[in-house]
Amino acid sequence: MNRILPKRIAAILFHFLIRIVYFCNALKNTMLPNSELILAIESSCDDTAAAVLNGRKVLSNCIANQTVHKAYGGVVPELASRAHQSKIVPVVQQALVQANIDKNDLTAIAYTQGPGLLGSLLVGSAFAKSFALSLNVPLIPINHMQGHLLVHFIEENGINTPTFPFLGITVSGGHTQLVLVKNHFEMNVLGTTLDDAIGEAFDKCGKRMGLDYPSGPQIDKLAQTGNPKRFQFPIPNMKGYDVSYSGVKTAFTNFIHKQTQNDSNFIHENLNDLCASLQYTLVQIILNKIEQVASENQLNQIVIGGGVAANSELRNQLLARKESHHWEVFLPPLKYTTDNAAMIGITAYYKLQEKQFGKLTDASKSRLTY
C-alpha cells in the first residue's frame, strides 16, 4: 500500500503536468496577435507538403519528397498518388507539431485545387475536406500558380513584398507564364509557353545527358564551372508575348545524338559546358520576353516564382538588368521556389480575409486558370 501511494501521486502529478503544458500551448496560440491559424496542404505533383501559418507568418513548412520517380526519369502519376496517400498524414502531423499547434485551434484548412496531376490533387483535397469537416472549420481551395507568385507576401526576414500591379513570372516544371498581377487574385496571363515549360526543358535535356530527375538543380550546379558560350542553340523569337521551348529541346537532343555517334564519351567530357550552354539558352528565352513585356506595359517590378526561380543564372541575369532597366527584382527565398505548402497558406490567408471559402463538392482540376 505504502509503495503504491507514491506511484499514484507521481501519476497524478504527471497527468496534471501534461494538462498544464497543453493548456499553456493553447493559451499561447490563442494569445498570438490576430491569431488566424491556417493549415495548408499541397499535393499537386510529386511533393507532399503541409504548412501552418499564423496570419502571414509561416510557423512550419514541411515537405516529403517522393524518391520513387527517380528510376523512371520523370513523375509517374499513379505512383505519385500512392505516395501522397502514405505521406500525407505524417507530413500534416509534422507540420502541426513543428508549429506547436493543436488541431483544434486551426481557423481554416487550405489545399491545392489545381492545376496538377488529378490523382495527386485528389489525395490532398480528400484529406483537407475530411479534416475540415471533422474540425468544423472553413475549407479554402487554392490555385497552385497564384501560390507561386504570392510567396512574396509572406511576412519573413529577407522577403520584400511588391506593390500592385506587377509583372509576375511563373517558371516551373509545368508552366512558363508572364502574368499581369493586378491584386492578390486578379491575374491576367499576358504570355505563356506554346509547348514545353522551361522546367520541363531543363528536365528533358538533363535526362538526355543521363542526369536524374529533376535535372534542373543538377544542370544549375554543373553549369557553374562550364562555358555558356561553348555550344550555341537557337533562341526563338516568338511573336507577341508567348515563348517556346520545344525547339531548343529538339536542337539539343539532335546535337547530343550527332556528337555521341562520333564520340561515345562526348557527354561525359563536355558535361559542364553542355549544362552551361543549355542553361544560358533556356534562361535567355524567358529573359528576352520579360524585357519586352516589362517595357511595353511599363511594369518595372519583376516578381518570379516556381521551381526554376531557384535557378542561379536566371536570378543573376535578372539582377544584372536591374539598374539599366530601372527594375525592382523580387526573388523568392530558395525554400519557397519549388513546390511547398507555405505558398498555399499565404494565398489562403488573403482568401480568409475575404471569407472566400470552398465547398465539399468543389472538384479538383488538372487545369485551372487564374
Q: CA-to-CA distance for 183 and 191, rounded, in angstroms?
A: 18
- Which of 144, 39, 78, 80 lies closest to 364, judged by CA? 144
Q: Which of 169, 308, 342, 348 binds ligand KG4 (CB under 6 A)?
A: 308
Q: Which residues contact 119 (CB under 8 A, 6 or more apart)?
A: 77, 78, 80, 81
Of 310 and 348, nearer to ligand KG4 (C-beta) is 310
Least CB distance to ligand KG4 at residue 215 (A) = 6
Of 13 and 71, nearer to ligand KG4 (C-beta) is 71
Residue 45 is a binding residue for ligand KG4 (CB under 6 A):
yes
Of 95 and 308, nearer to ligand KG4 (C-beta) is 308
Question: Where does this chain touch ligand KG4 (CB under 6 A) — which range of 101-109, 188-196, 269-277, 305-313?
Answer: 305-313
Residue 311 is a binding residue for Zn ion (CB under 5 A):
no
With beta carbons less than 8 A apart as the criterion, state whether 62 and 103 touch.
Answer: no
Q: Which residues contact 38 (CB under 8 A, 6 or more apart)?
A: 52, 53, 54, 106, 107, 108, 109, 110, 140, 345, 348, 349, 352
Q: CA-to-CA distance for 248 and 44, rounded, in angstroms?
A: 27
Least CB distance to Zn ion at residue 342 (A) = 12
Residue 214 is a binding residue for ligand KG4 (CB under 6 A):
yes
310 binds, among Zn ion, ligand KG4, none (CB under 5 to 8 A by kind): ligand KG4
Of 105 and 220, nearer to ligand KG4 (C-beta) is 220
Residue 124 is a binding residue for ligand KG4 (CB under 6 A):
no
Question: Where does this chain touch Zn ion (CB under 5 A) — which range of 65-73, 111-119, 121-129, 339-347?
Answer: 339-347
Question: Where does this chain touch ligand KG4 (CB under 6 A) — which range of 121-129, 198-206, 294-302, 346-354?
Answer: 198-206
How many chain residues are in contact with ligand KG4, going by CB under 6 A?
19
Longest dimension (CA), the chain: 90
Residue 172 is a binding residue for Zn ion (CB under 5 A):
yes
- DSSP string of 171-222, one letter each residue: ESSS-EEEEEE-SSS-EEEEEEBSSS-HHHHHHHHHHHTTPPSS-HHHHHHH
Of 29 and 44, nearer to ligand KG4 (C-beta) is 44
308 binds, among ligand KG4, Zn ion, none (CB under 5 to 8 A by kind): ligand KG4
Q: CA-to-CA distance for 60 and 41, rounded, in angstroms?
A: 12
Residues 215-244: x where in contact with ligand KG4 by CB under 6 A, - otherwise, as a string: xxx--x------------------------
* Residue 186 identity (one-letter amino acid): E
Least CB distance to ligand KG4 at residue 51 (A) = 15
**Cα 59–Cα 316–Cα 327 angle in degrees, nearest 5:** 85
341 binds, among Zn ion, ligand KG4, none (CB under 5 to 8 A by kind): none
Of 146 and 172, nearer to Zn ion (C-beta) is 172
Q: Which of 338, 345, 350, 368 binds ligand KG4 (CB under 6 A)?
A: 338
Alpha-carbon dihedral sign for residues 36, 84, 187, 173 = positive
Question: Where does this chain touch Zn ion (CB under 5 A) — which range of 76-84, 238-246, 261-269, 335-343?
Answer: 335-343
Eight-class DSSP state of 334: G
> 246-262 and 198-208 are packed helices; what angle lies between their axes, rounded to 10 degrees?
10
Of the chain, the end-to-end C-alpha distance in Å amounts to 71
Q: CA-to-CA distance for 125 and 291, rounded, in angstroms?
A: 38
Cell of 229: 558560350
Residues within the interface to Zn ion (CB under 5 A): 172, 339
Residues within the interface to ligand KG4 (CB under 6 A): 45, 172-174, 199, 202-203, 214-217, 220, 306-308, 310-311, 338-339
